[in-house]
Amino acid sequence: MPHVALFLKLTGVLIGCVGLAYGLQPDLVLAQWMGLTVAPDTLQIFRAIMGLYLGIGGLLIAASLKPAHYQSGLWLLAVFMAGLAGGRVLSLLVDGYQHWFTLLAAALELGALAVGVWYLKQASAPAAV
């Protein structure tokens, strides 16, 4: 699994960047990306989301540093992406189409989930004799 470390690092950095976008200036970023207004009393929610994303991104980067941790990192990635994509798909079904960003984010999350699951299957496949 030679590319697992790179995949974990890349997804960890990207998740961290998304977290920073959600939390540093959510009132500006979300207004530009999605046309949303963020009330001052809800900023703490977005900053908490930033902390969650930074923590998960950091764990993925840490998992990329040792082959013994690749599988744990892939499981973390798969569960996180499945949760995000599942929530977005549920929102699309219940709330209807809201913004192009929802479709883009869901596609990226489903793609990362698919790659993570593929790597997990590769790791659990028996070695050829």
Count structural domains, the chain: 1
Considering the domain boundaries, does residue 52 fall inside one?
A: yes
Considering the domain boundaries, does residue 69 fall inside one?
A: yes
Q: Is the distance from CB of 64 to CB of 73 less than 8 angstroms? A: yes
At residue 129 the predicted structure's pLDDT band, cuts being 50, 70 and 90, is low
Considering the domain boundaries, does residue 27 fall inside one?
A: yes
Q: How far is CA 29 from CA 9, 22, 23, 42, 91, in A?
A: 24, 7, 9, 14, 21
- In this predicted model, what pLDDT tens digit does every residue of 92-121 receive, in sequence order? 999 998 888 889 999 999 999 999 999 999
Q: At what angle do helices 70-95 and 100-124 cross, to 10 degrees?
A: 150
Three-state DSSP class for residue 127: coil
Q: Which domain holds residue 22?
A: 4-123
Considering the domain boundaries, does residue 63 fall inside one?
A: yes
- In this predicted model, what pLDDT tens digit does every residue of 18-61 receive, in sequence order? 999 888 888 787 777 777 788 888 888 989 999 999 999 999 99
The closest alpha carbon to 80, from 2, 5, 19, belongs to: 19
